[in-house]
Chains A and B, each alone.
Chain A
């Protein structure tokens, strides 16, 4: 019930291409879905987040698409750049009730080739 499943494990994209990372969850009590970005030697940092009352959220080149009925959400990185090379984690948690800690996916290592 607490799991968040993430794919792919690794991804290689050419500069300027679109990177797509997918996640699925089981717990319908989750109502906050962030994506975190982690560079080597650093802690994860919030990239973008969405609530399930919207189907899409865009911030610059980063977009979250959310499908509540399928319990799936994805991160799209448009015009991918070498500086986007990092590990990306999807996550989920409940808000005012239940477990307040983030449950993370297994991570996707993205490499953007110049």
Chain B
């Protein structure tokens, strides 16, 4: 398996534009997480899904942020309209539910570096 795949790797957009980040989780994983990483706030959980259903979106900063998971192999994080303070690295991760110890590992993608100018 190629691991968690995120696209694009880098995105530069102008303030006010819509931005869509994409994620393909590891096949067979039933949890998907979106995290945001900044120098000031570290790694923050935005939202996570279980079996394609959003479970906890309390970390989504504003209504400008939305996330969907239409099927087990694809998720999007959308920011509309984007603002300079949204500049960060956005990570997608996936994991199995599992009952075994190691099945709780979360595998991260390489991230999307978003710059809003």
Q: Measuring CB to CB, which residues of chain A are less than 8 angstroms from any residue of chain B?
A: 32, 34, 41-46, 49, 51, 89, 93, 95-96, 99-107
Select A49's contact among B42, B55, B105, B110, beta carbons within 8 Å. B105
**With known contacts A43-B109, A89-B43, A105-B42, A100–B48 Cβ distance under 8 A:** yes
With an 8 Å Cβ cutoff, the count of chain B residues facing the other chain is 25
Q: Which residues of B contact A41 (CB under 8 A)?
A: 110
Collect the chain A residues with CB atoms within 8 Å of residue B93's CB. 43
Query: Could you say which residues of chain B place their CB within 8 Å of the CB of A93?
Result: 104
Q: Evaluate contact between A42 and B110: CB separation under 8 angstroms.
A: yes
- Flag if B91 contacts A43 (CB, 8 Å): yes
Q: How far is the CB of B92 from chain A (nearest CB, A)?
A: 9
B residues adjacent to A (C-beta < 8 A): 4, 31, 33, 35, 42-43, 45, 48, 50, 55-56, 91, 93, 97, 99, 101-102, 104-111
6 closest A-B pairs (Cβ-Cβ)?
Answer: A43-B108, A104-B43, A106-B42, A101-B48, A101-B45, A46-B105
Chain B residue numbers with a CB within 8 Å of A32 are 101, 104
Q: How far is the CB of A31 from chain B (nearest CB, A)?
A: 10
Q: How many A-B residue pairs have CB under 8 A?
A: 51
Residue from B91, B106, B107 whose CB has the most chain A CB atoms within 10 Å = B106
With contact pairs A100-B55, A104-B43 given, residues A46 and B106 touching in the complex (Cβ less than 8 Å): yes
Which residues of the other chain, B, contact A100 by a CB distance below 8 angstroms?
Answer: 31, 48, 50, 55, 97
Q: Are A107 and B110 in contact (CB under 8 A)?
A: no
In the assembled complex, the CB of B80 is this many whole angstroms from the nearest CB of chain A, namely 24
**Given known A43-B91, A43-B93, A51-B101, contact A102–B42 (CB-CB < 8 A):** no
**Shortest beta-carbon distance, A43 to chain B, in Å?**
3
